[in-house]
A and B are shown apart, each in its own frame.
Chain A
Amino acid sequence: MTLTKRSDGRKFDELRPMEAKVGVIKRANGSAMFKIGNTQAIAAVYGPRELYPGHLQNPEKGLLRCNYNMIAFSGAGDRVKPGPSRRSREISMVTENALNSIVDLNQYSNAVVDVFIELVNTDAGTRCAGICAAAMALADAGIPMRDMICAVSVGKVEDKIVVDLNYDEDSAEKGVDFPVAITARTGKVTLLQMDGLLKKDEIKDLLRAAKKAAEQINKVQVKAIREKYEK
């Protein structure tokens, strides 16, 4: 089968409309909202602050701790049961790895930088939206960063490579979901997962599509950060 049109009428390489805002949570040291289509993530950064339990403390380096969570009414179908699941814990971990590759916490001995990511509304691509928001929130908190991170889910629907899958595409039979996080300046892939069936040669095309999408996402992120600080 060949895909001629996407379910929401987008072009194959077209992202959903994006919105971003920095400084949405006053009590946090840094915060940001990132919205792509109907998927909306809010991230808050607290810290550097003292790390408990004490045995986790490292005098040479601060710890980055991420927590990804979907709020109860964020799913399109049934209510999401509150509390961590295997899925959310894994996503927290891969998010942490992606962000750890760009932050520099060497000066924060025995401290932790907590990143809380809440998905308030979802239509696929949640981990990517979460990472986009988290990276902006870290910048807003003034955490030393070597680069910016942009994340997007690319994939395949039938025979076509598409970017920024929505829920219908993500859950389609024989679809491929391929979330990627890429650093904006150096173009390094810091998160990569894949579900579905793929040929080896297609990886190159998927990564190229992701890189192109990441550039657009980065513009939105940078603009939002500038809006807060260039007032």
Chain B
Amino acid sequence: MKSHLKSLIEKDMREDSRKLDEHRKIKIEYGISTSAEGSARVTIGDTIVIAGVKMSLGTPFSDTPDEGVLIVNTELLPLSSPDFESGPPNIKSIELSRVVDRGIRESGAIDVKKLCIKKGEKVWLLNVDVYPLNDAGNLFDAASIAAIAALKDTKIPVVKDDKVEYKKRGTKSLPLDGYPVECTVYMIGDKLIVDPTTEEEELVEARLTVATYGNHLCAMQKGGVKGLTPEEVEKMVDLAVKKTDELRKLLK
């Protein structure tokens, strides 16, 4: 199976007859949770990821006293794949959390200063929790889209007497300006592909995640052992930029 898939990719073909730079069908659904302040479900082919935002009041970090706090967390639920195990977060889920987190954080799309209520004392804490429900490959792109979609869907809850009124849905959206989106480009042999299936992921020798925002790149992460030439990096970035522009349109 493995060598069959590999030889297909060498001939610019894929098992499900996609092009190398083509995603499976992507669906974004908003407001899938009644308990979260914002939520979304993203389906890419058979991969399903859900994300939710919980907002709470807390104290800011001492080095950023006038900024709200954004934390993205992912947990690779053992429910979603036979390869995931129960227990504390393993390195795979930590990397996924941090890559998605940085893509959003570094873009500055969320104006964290507007999430400050009282400098040094009280700010909004934004917890974005991302969970795969079925891992059929490419959790990176799915998690990134789900996280930003959940933030887009978020309404700031009303605060009364210093307490958050979770029961009523707020009316104000987050200070979110545009959508940072990530695309991960995978290298198999000397071919570049996007959106691998689980089986294709097993063939991957190197990958590069690129987050883009407006005309800028805002975060990158290389994964896998194989080294890349500068030309290869450029090619991967080019492809990622092209794809993130397409993905961003889905959020509109």
Contacts and interface: CB of A to CB of B under 8 A. Distances in A.
B135 A73 contact: no
A12 B147 CA distance: 40
Contacts of A26: 46, 134, 136
B34 A73 contact: no
Interface in A37-59: 38, 42-44, 46, 49
Given A26-B134, A44-B80, A121 B34 contact: yes
Interface residues of A, number: 32
A123 B34 CA distance: 9
B79 A42 contact: yes
Contacts of A94: none
A184 interface: no
B52 A72 contact: yes
A187 interface: no
A38 B127 contact: no
A27 B134 contact: yes
Contacts of B82: 27-28, 46, 49
B75 A74 contact: no
A118 B79 contact: yes
B56 A28 contact: no
A72 to B, nearest CB: 4
Contacts of B46: 26-27
A145 interface: no
A75 B37 CA distance: 11
Contact of A116 (B33, B77, B129): B77
A179 to B, nearest CB: 20
Question: What are the 7 closest A-B residue pairs judged by CB atoms, nearest first?
Answer: A73-B52, A116-B79, A73-B36, A72-B129, A79-B54, A44-B79, A25-B134
Contact of A73 (B80, B129, B134): B129
Contacts of A28: 79, 82, 134
Contact of B54 (A42, A73, A116): A73
B129 A67 contact: no
A83 interface: yes
Interface in B43-96: 46, 48, 50, 52-54, 56, 73, 75, 77-82, 86, 88
A77 B79 CA distance: 25
B35 A122 contact: yes
Residue of A25, A27, A83, A123 most packed against chain B (CB within 10 A): A27
Contacts of A43: 79
A220 interface: no
Q: Which of A24, A71, A75, A121 has the most CB of B within 10 A?
A: A71
A76 interface: yes
Contact of B166 (A69, A76, A118, A121): A76
